């Protein structure tokens, strides 16, 4: 079964989904952009759980994913994944970004998630080229085989990303 893929422009912290994905930094302690917005909207419970994870395993490595509850958010879970900082090493950065999607989807599946919402990982302050990031994101979710996940939503913060995702998804149909 292939999940339905949707694109919308909006606020990830307000999306109705079983899980939302946080473009976290390796400290898991909140930051700017999506990460800061999720921690602010979700409340202290998310930070407390992130601290527990850090105490147990240390920082989260780039491309890896961990899960917390969603605190005050409408989702059940927040899957925190650390995207790569763009450094012009396209091959390495692309592999790490692909791992963010793969590991987040595997974790979501293990939690029996039916709907999952992704931000545009690494395209903000990490400066990953938006078009390349969208191609990787779409490619990874389209090739992910799942019996559990029914819907994947790409939540774009800005019109530029929304346009890129819409265009690429239309080309893939």
List residues with catalytic annotation. Answer: 35
Res 173 pLDDT > 70? no
Structure tokens that stand for 118 in this block: 């992704």
Per-domain residue ranges for the chain?
4-172
4-172 to CATH, choices 3.30.70.1380, 3.40.50.10140, 1.20.120.1200, 3.40.220.10: 3.40.220.10
Residue-wise pLDDT tens digits, 42-73:
999 999 999 999 999 999 999 999 999 999 99
Task: List % helix, strand, coil for the chain (3-state, nearest 5).
Answer: 45, 20, 35
Label residue 126 exposed, middle or buried (CB < 10 Å: 0-12, 13-18, 19+).
Answer: buried
Q: Output the pTM of the full model.
A: 0.96
Terminal-to-terminal C-alpha distance of the chain: 16
């Amino acid at each position: 079964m292939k999940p339905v893929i949707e694109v919308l422009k909006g606020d990830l912290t307000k999306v109705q989904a079983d899980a939302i994905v946080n473009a976290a930094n390796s400290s898991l302690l909140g930051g700017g952009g999506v990460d800061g917005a999720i921690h602010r909207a979700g409340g202290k419970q998310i930070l407390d759980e992130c601290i527990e994870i850090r105490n147990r395993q240390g920082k989260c490595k780039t491309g890896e994913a961990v899960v917390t509850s969603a605190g005050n958010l409408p989702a059940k879970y927040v899957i925190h994944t650390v995207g790569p900082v763009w450094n012009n090493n396209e091959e390495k950065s692309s592999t790490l970004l692909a791992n963010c999607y793969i590991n987040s989807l595997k974790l979501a599946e293990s939690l029996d998630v039916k709907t999952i919402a992704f931000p545009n990982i690494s395209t903000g302050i990490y400066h990953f080229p938006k078009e390349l990031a969208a191609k990787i994101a779409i490619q990874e979710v389209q090739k992910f085989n799942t019996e559990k996940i029914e819907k994947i939503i790409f939540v774009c913060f800005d019109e530029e990303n929304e346009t890129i995702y819409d265009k690429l998804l239309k080309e893939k149909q």
